[in-house]
């Protein structure tokens, strides 16, 4: 994707399965990448690994749910790496539970990371982009934000909220030349998905779907790989998507039947 080399990106949730692959993909395209996550040790391990591949990455530990830490880390990134061209909101947590029995703690934690974190980081970065009249961001949401999933009421609600916020932000800052898009993965081969499985049959059950839970399987017959999501993110950030904003790109192998 021509034109990405030399640009600077900030990726939250960088130590996660999708976040780390997004960071690797952007760095592989020549971006200088700020790796942001709460776990400093995991960030350092990831940074060391990516540097052995000769990628330009720098770890910055921060909690995206805290406004002061978000403002501080964005200021530090721009002071050390230069003005941000791209933001990827990849930080996210999943807590399973039926709508009637999900704990208040799990509900609040998911909203803190998946929604408030997106708001705080987007605000901090985009307010710096506006005077420069340049920039693009992608929020990683989920296909569960638009399709009901048993046991995922809280998670799906947070992803719907983060998608709506991102697309509305895109509407408001379009006149400043800033694009805001959403990538919504389906079942992706990461530790988050694995945590939902009860036994070794989980992979095939996810692909096949379940009548008992009213869940359609995956028409392509396979799980998404983190690289599938990362490629979609990179495209929407790139100049090749220069006339695309307020869009939600679903990467789920057809699991939501194109809806």
Residues identified as active-site: 155
222 HSE (CA, 13 A, CB side): 5
> Sign of dihedral through CA atoms 32, 37, 43, 49?
negative
3 state DSSP class of 224: strand
**What is the helix (H) or strand (E) element at residue 34, kind and residue range?**
strand 32-37
DSSP 77-108: HHHHH-S--EEEE-------B-TTT--HHHHH
The DSSP bridge pattern shows strands 178-185 and 135-140 to be: parallel
């Amino acid at each position: 994707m021509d034109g990405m080399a030399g640009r600077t990106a900030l990726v939250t949730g960088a130590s996660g399965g999708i976040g780390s692959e997004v960071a690797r993909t952007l760095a592989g395209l020549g971006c200088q990448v700020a790796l942001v996550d709460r776990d400093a040790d995991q960030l350092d391990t990831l940074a060391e690994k990516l540097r052995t591949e000769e990628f330009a990455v720098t770890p910055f530990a921060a909690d995206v749910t805290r406004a002061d830490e978000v403002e501080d880390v964005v200021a530090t990134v721009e002071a050390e790496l230069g003005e941000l061209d791209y933001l990827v909101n990849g930080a996210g947590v999943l807590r399973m539970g039926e709508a009637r029995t999900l704990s208040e703690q799990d509900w609040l934690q998911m909203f803190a990371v998946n929604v408030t974190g997106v708001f705080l980081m987007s605000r901090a970065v985009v307010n710096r982009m506006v005077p420069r009249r340049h920039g693009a961001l992608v929020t990683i949401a989920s296909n569960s934000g638009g399709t009901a999933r048993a046991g995922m009421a809280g998670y799906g609600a947070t992803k719907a909220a983060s998608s709506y916020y991102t697309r509305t932000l895109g509407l408001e800052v379009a006149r400043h030349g800033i694009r805001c898009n959403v990538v919504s993965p389906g079942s992706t081969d990461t530790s988050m998905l694995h945590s939902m499985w009860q036994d070794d049959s989980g992979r095939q059950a996810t692909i096949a779907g379940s009548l008992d839970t009213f869940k359609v399987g995956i028409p392509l017959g396979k799980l998404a790989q983190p690289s599938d999501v990362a490629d979609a993110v990179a495209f929407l950030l790139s100049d090749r998507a220069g006339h695309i904003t307020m869009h939600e790109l679903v990467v789920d192998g057809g699991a939501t039947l194109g809806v």
